Amino acid sequence: MIKSMTGFGREQGIVDGYEIQVEIRSVNHRYFEFSSRIPRSFSYLDEKLKSFVSERVSRGKVEVSVTISKTEGVEAEIEVNQEIAAGYVNALRNANIKLGLNDDLSLSDITRFPDVFKIQKVQDDEEVVWNAVKQVCFEALNKFIDMRVTEGQKMYEDISSRLDFIEGKTNEIEKISPLISENYKNRLYSKIKETLEDRDIDEQRVLTEVAIFSDKIAVDEETVRLHSHVSQFRGLINSSEPVGRKLDFLVQELNREVNTIGSKAQDLSVTKTVVELKSEIEKIREQIQNIE
């Protein structure tokens, strides 16, 4: 079944001490285009996420947003830079001696000075983080694809009804075509009879003229190809594989056959039917722009 290129999925959870939220969204695009929004310290996840998503998504402009925070343990180790602290203490005490001040220096005073503390972020195990993110991403991706499938079902039903319409109108053209030649033959007889009055009519010449006209307006090949294209279209929209590009090609072929019928049309009802067909094909074309 066809899938839409528009989708959204969100999942959050706590895995291996990390609270993680993943959002996946996409809009239509001719190819697969990936982008991510990830905290800078976890930027190594970008390529892993791209590879993970591309295994199940072939087309669309996809954006993945990830937030990660620890729920347990420490994120940074803090130490006193004793050399810096000692430097501040010595400098202040020397100043006290020279200026004759009381030495009321306390530990809290030292902590106010810059660079007294060394803050060392605890490094995360990249493999542990990726496995945690992958679990949450998997669930978000399932929801994302479910939405694409749901949207695809609506598109499938709409396109199927339009294909029914195209087949019905093609059948009408096939029924009308022989009548156009017969009507032309009758008009030609009447015209010649009126012109020649009581003189004999050259039957062979009339039949030759009708044959030339019939060959000129014949659309048998076009209607056969229309039926064939519709049949292929139905097969593709029932496929589980990405078919958007193939459908785009088939729409062009449908349009080509209908345009040819329109250029050959010598009948008002056929011309009207061609206009209706072109309108339906255009609506199908708009739909398949968003099919994966």
What confidence tens digit (pLDDT) does each residue in 195-209 have? 555 556 566 665 666
Average pLDDT over residues 117-124: 70
Give the per-residue pLDDT at 73.
Answer: 60
In a domain, 1, yes or no: no
274 and 157: one domain?
yes
Residue where the block lists tokens 């009447």: 190
In a domain, 171, yes or no: yes
100 and 201: one domain?
no
pTM of the model: 0.71
Average pLDDT over residues 121-150: 92
Please, what is the Cα angle at 238 between 237 and 243, to 5 degrees?
45
User: Of the candidates 271, 245, 280, which has an alpha carbon nearest to the alpha carbon of residue 5?
Assistant: 245
Give the per-residue pLDDT at 74.
Answer: 53
177 and 84: one domain?
no
Q: Which domain holds residue 117?
A: 76-121
Give the per-residue pLDDT at 203.
Answer: 66
What confidence tens digit (pLDDT) does each residue in 225-256 have? 999 999 999 999 998 888 999 999 999 999 99
174 and 244: one domain?
yes
Report the distance separating Cα 248 and Cα 87, nearest Å.
74
Residue 220's pLDDT band, with cuts at 50, 70 and 90, is confident
116 and 202: one domain?
no
Q: How far is CA 134 from its chain centroid?
A: 23
Give the per-residue pLDDT at 21.
Answer: 98
Q: How many domains does the chain have?
A: 3
Please, what sign has the CA dihedral across residues 189, 195, 196, 198? positive
Name the residue with higher pLDDT: 75 or 5: 5
In a domain, 191, yes or no: yes
90 and 62: one domain?
no
For residues 215 and 240, is the Cβ–Cβ distance under 8 A? Answer: no
228 and 194: one domain?
yes
Report the distance separating Cα 261 and Cα 273, nearest Å.
10
Average pLDDT over residues 54-69: 96
Report the percentage of the chain scoring pLDDT > 70.
83
In a domain, 116, yes or no: yes
Give the per-residue pLDDT at 209.
Answer: 63
Find the CATH number of the domain harbouring 50.
3.30.230
What confidence tens digit (pLDDT) does each residue in 169-197 have? 999 988 887 776 666 556 655 665 555 55
